[in-house]
Chain A
Amino acid sequence: GAGVSQSPSNKVTEKGKDVELRCDPISGHTALYWYRQSLGQGLEFLIYFQGNSAPDKSGLPSDRFSAERTGGSVSTLTIQRTQQEDSAVYLCASSEIGLGAFFGQGTRLTVV
């Protein structure tokens, strides 16, 4: 596709359930990033992929969070046993290495 695509755009889940968020980067982009943003706050870095490997996963807030990237393309962010504090907009971005990144429209996650 022409841009970064994220799905779903909105997700409401019950506390304790697992959720999977998907990111389809721009074709050919080697680098892929996940951030999250709570209302009125700055971007919080979660994890960074180069190809299929994650040289920096320091931002994952707990072991309930995991991410993978397959085929150097699609990435999935999984949150297990969701908590209310996980509610946020989860943003994915992709880029050529060392260049500015382009963001998807995000997944708005609400844990009730």
Chain B
Amino acid sequence: RKEVEQDPGPFNVPEGATVAFNCTYSNSASQSFFWYRQDCRKEPKLLMSVYSSGNEDGRFTAQLNRASQYISLLIRDSKLSDSATYLCVVIYSGNTPLVFGKGTRLSVIA
């Protein structure tokens, strides 16, 4: 199975900090990319899709670098409620399942 790799962390940052996560994928033909968030003992929730041109949703910015085969997630002005595990997800083609990274754990500290 093609791999999606993430730094497991934990990333411990103070409130208000900016933090960035990267995720690398192995298949250059990958088609679709997403970031999910998972809180402790909860199901993963779709945070945002990642588009080639990059996209922003409030304090969150996602970018795709096809040449280097990585995606990134930037969180500005971190809140305590941002503490969670962030999962990188790749779809290699329309006929294949979502491939999840193992996640990066973020703790935002007061």
Q: Which A residues fall within an 8 A CB radius of B?
A: 31, 33, 35, 41-43, 45, 48, 50, 55-56, 58, 91, 93, 95, 97-106
Contacts and interface: CB of A to CB of B under 8 A. Distances in A.
Contacts of B69: none
Given A98-B32, A100-B34, A103-B44, A93 B94 contact: no
Contacts of B95: 50, 55, 97
Nearest to A31: B97
Interface of B: 1, 31-32, 34, 36, 42-46, 49, 87, 89, 91, 94-103
B46 A101 contact: yes
Nearest to B101: A42
B97 A33 contact: yes
A105 to B, nearest CB: 5
A93 B98 contact: yes
